[in-house]
């Protein structure tokens, strides 16, 4: 029997949660759930200088919005707590010491200033097999000197002693066999002077301790994979190492390169899942949520950036994604982000979901625009206009006139073809509508057309004016549907109002 699948998402809480980050979460989550496994969130906050207030909570808010709930995390708890690396600090030293004892790592006492000087002196300086014997470390210093430095609290780091001539090969679930030469990697710092591990030590130790079976991360990590593999070999044995998959990057739409927050600002689309306010600068970056995206659409769109099920299907619920996901079908190449397509997914989900699935959000949006919508009418309105909304925020413009009189009336659209004859028609229409027993769109349309015929005016020439009177502009659903929802009193009131304006002209 094989071990239970356990995957982890390991963000560092340094700011907003990027599209690519959410996709990494998603693929982890889908893989875990597809295989009946657990999804763990581990906070990689080993760099105290990059700590950002609120960033961790924000990550969980985003996951919650997306519907990607962790089985274990600092906030959800779990048998392998703590899940915050800063709280696991004492654990790592032991493994770093073990590496030193085995000769796979060494103490280095070089100061930042000394390293800086070396970098200036040697172009492309690397702390590696070629240079480490020129440096101040336990390889060059004798035992007593090292002992003395250690005893006098001299700051030091622990570095991995990369082998000079070894080929490191592993099998990536997406890329197949990938190999590196050990001489190419430098002697990465494992334990920092402040006693915190670097990412390199921490991932390996925690993946082992937390019994992670599959480790998925962005492609940008590929070059450091050999270091991690060596660490596995030295510490826990290759046979216990998780299976790796390095996910393709999400690229900017124009040109090339990794998609960044700046690209979103520049091109006018969100990059973060939800609104993020930088606590230092107070700068607000809009998220997909606040931009009017449904989590269903956001997740669907992200999944399709690099994955497909081999058919033409493009709309998937989270449940379907769980059923169909496989790492083998993840594309190797990076994908340029296409905001137009992202919006298309949202439009599809607005049409697909029952109104109850997003009614509350729409009500919230309306409220923010000081429109209080009663529940029954809101549902009715949403049904009527949802086909012409691609973002949730579109509902505001598309529905405002149902709840309050239009602020401006596009008189210019009626005026040129306006005449007394038409004016008379509307006066007659008002009278007829006042007497209507059953206020529904079929009856309203029938009445309208009969009066038009009696006046020998083409209905088509009258429908646009009516629309402008009710809506204020050339948009919205079928005009008699609008009148039906508006009700007798309001409809007549709006017609009269515009009639007066036309008269005044």
Footprint (CB under 7 A) of RNA, residues 40-99: 44, 46-47, 50
Of the candidate residues 110, 206, 290, 484, the single one contacting RNA (CB under 7 A): 110
Active site residue 351: no
Q: Hey, what are 345's tokens?
A: 């997914």
* Binding characters for RNA, 176-195, by CB under 7 A (x = yes): x-xxxx--x-x--x--xxx-
Nearer to RNA, 220 or 370 (CB): 220
- Smallest distance from the beta carbon of 455 to RNA, in angstroms? 12
Residue 427 near residue 499, CB atoms below 8 Å: yes
- Smallest distance from the beta carbon of 389 to RNA, in angstroms? 7
Quote the CA–CA distance of 94 and 72 in Å, as a whole number.
25
How many other C-beta atoms can be found within 10 angstroms of the C-beta atom of residue 71? 17
206 is a contact residue toward RNA (CB under 7 A): no
Of the candidate residues 278, 314, 447, 490, the single one contacting RNA (CB under 7 A): 314
Of the candidate residues 476, 485, 486, 494, the single one contacting RNA (CB under 7 A): 476
Quote the CA–CA distance of 38 and 184 in Å, as a whole number.
35
- Smallest distance from the beta carbon of 432 to RNA, in angstroms? 17
Nearer to RNA, 193 or 492 (CB): 193
Task: Write out the DSSP string of 488-503.
Answer: HHHHHHHHHHHHHHHH
Of the candidate residues 27, 65, 127, 232, the single one contacting RNA (CB under 7 A): 127
Of the candidate residues 131, 308, 326, 380, the single one contacting RNA (CB under 7 A): 308
Of the candidate residues 8, 33, 132, 467, the single one contacting RNA (CB under 7 A): 467
Residue 216's beta-bridge partner residues?
Answer: 245
Nearer to RNA, 184 or 277 (CB): 184
Site for RNA in 287-306 (CB under 7 A): 304-306
396 is a contact residue toward RNA (CB under 7 A): no
Residue 389 near residue 398, CB atoms below 8 Å: yes
Stretch that binds RNA, among 107-115, 229-237, 281-289, 319-327 (CB under 7 A): 107-115
Long-range CB contacts (within 8 A, 24+) of 451-456: 451/425, 452/425, 455/421, 455/424, 455/425, 455/428
Say which residue the tokens 């103490």 belong to. 107
Nearer to RNA, 232 or 480 (CB): 480
Of 261, 336, 377, 501, the catalytic one is 261
Of the candidate residues 51, 442, 478, 487, the single one contacting RNA (CB under 7 A): 478
Task: Write out the DSSP string of 114-161.
Answer: HHHHHHHHSTT---STTTGGGSSBTTTS-HHHHHHHHHTT---EEEE-
- Smallest distance from the beta carbon of 1 to RNA, in angstroms? 27
Q: Identify the sign of the CA torsion 324, 329, 330, 335.
A: negative
Nearer to RNA, 223 or 279 (CB): 223
Half-sphere exposure of 463 (CA within 13 A, CB side): 16
DSSP letter at 170 equals E
Quote the CA–CA distance of 454 and 449 in Å, as a whole number.
9
Site for RNA in 131-170 (CB under 7 A): 155, 157
Of the candidate residues 87, 147, 375, 387, the single one contacting RNA (CB under 7 A): 387
Of the candidate residues 36, 79, 101, 112, the single one contacting RNA (CB under 7 A): 112
- Smallest distance from the beta carbon of 18 to RNA, in angstroms? 11
Site for RNA in 209-268 (CB under 7 A): 219-224, 248-249, 251, 253, 255-258
Tell me how far CA of residue 161 lies from CA of 104, 158, 233, 462, in angstroms: 5, 9, 13, 84
Site for RNA in 397-456 (CB under 7 A): none
- Smallest distance from the beta carbon of 413 to RNA, in angstroms? 9
Quote the CA–CA distance of 193 and 303 in Å, as a whole number.
40
Quote the CA–CA distance of 376 and 412 in Å, as a whole number.
34
Residues designated catalytic: 261
């Amino acid at each position: 029997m094989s071990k239970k699948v356990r995957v982890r998402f390991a963000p560092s809480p340094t700011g907003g949660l990027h599209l690519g980050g959410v996709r990494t979460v998603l693929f982890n989550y889908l893989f875990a759930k597809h295989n009946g496994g657990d999804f763990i969130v581990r906070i990689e906050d080993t760099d105290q200088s990059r700590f950002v207030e609120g960033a961790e909570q924000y990550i969980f808010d985003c996951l919650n919005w997306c519907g990607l709930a962790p089985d274990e995390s600092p906030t959800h708890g779990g048998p392998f707590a703590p899940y915050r690396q800063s709280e696991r600090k004492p654990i790592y030293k032991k493994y770093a010491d073990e590496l030193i004892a085995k000769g796979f790592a060494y103490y280095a006492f070089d100061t930042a200033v000394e390293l800086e000087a070396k970098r200036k002196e040697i172009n492309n300086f690397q702390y590696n097999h070629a240079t480490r014997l020129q440096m101040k470390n336990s390889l060059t210093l004798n035992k007593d000197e090292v002992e003395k430095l250690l005893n006098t609290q001299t700051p030091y780091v622990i570095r991995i002693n990369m082998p000079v001539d070894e080929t490191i090969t592993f099998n990536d679930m997406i890329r197949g066999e990938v190999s590196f030469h050990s001489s190419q990697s430098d002697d990465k710092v494992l334990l920092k002077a402040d006693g915190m591990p670097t990412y390199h030590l921490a991932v390996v130790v925690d993946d082992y301790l937390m019994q992670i079976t599959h480790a998925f991360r962005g492609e940008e990590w590929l070059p450091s994979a050999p270091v991690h593999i060596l660490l596995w070999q030295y510490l826990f044995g290759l046979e216990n190492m998780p299976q790796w998959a390095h996910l393709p990057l999400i690229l900017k739409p124009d040109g090339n390169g990794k998609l960044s927050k700046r690209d979103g600002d520049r091109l006018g689309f969100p990059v973060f899942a939800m609104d993020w306010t930088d606590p230092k600068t107070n700068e607000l970056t809009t998220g997909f949520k606040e931009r009017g995206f449904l989590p269903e659409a956001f997740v669907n769109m992200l999944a399709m950036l690099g994955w497909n099920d081999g058919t033409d299907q493009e709309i998937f619920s989270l449940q379907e994604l769980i059923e169909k996901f496989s790492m083998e079908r993840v594309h190797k190449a990076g994908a340029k982000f296409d905001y137009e397509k992202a919006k298309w997914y949202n439009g599809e989900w607005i049409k697909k979901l029952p109104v109850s699935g997003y009614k509350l959000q729409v009500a919230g949006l309306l409220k923010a625009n000081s429109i209080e919508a009663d529940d029954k009418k809101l549902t009715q309105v949403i049904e009527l206009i949802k086909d012409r909304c691609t973002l949730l925020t579109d509902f505001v413009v598309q529905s405002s006139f149902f709840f309050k009189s239009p602020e401006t009336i596009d008189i210019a659209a009626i005026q040129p073809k306006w005449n007394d004859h038409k004016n008379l028609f509307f006066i007659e229409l008002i009278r007829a509508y006042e007497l209507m027993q059953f206020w529904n769109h079929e009856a309203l349309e029938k009445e309208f057309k009969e009066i038009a015929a009696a006046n020998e005016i083409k209905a088509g020439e009258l429908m646009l004016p009516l629309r402008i009177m009710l809506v204020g502009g050339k948009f919205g659903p079928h005009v008699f549907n609008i009148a039906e929802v508006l009700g007798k009193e309001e409809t007549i009131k709006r017609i009269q109002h515009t009639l007066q304006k036309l008269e005044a002209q």
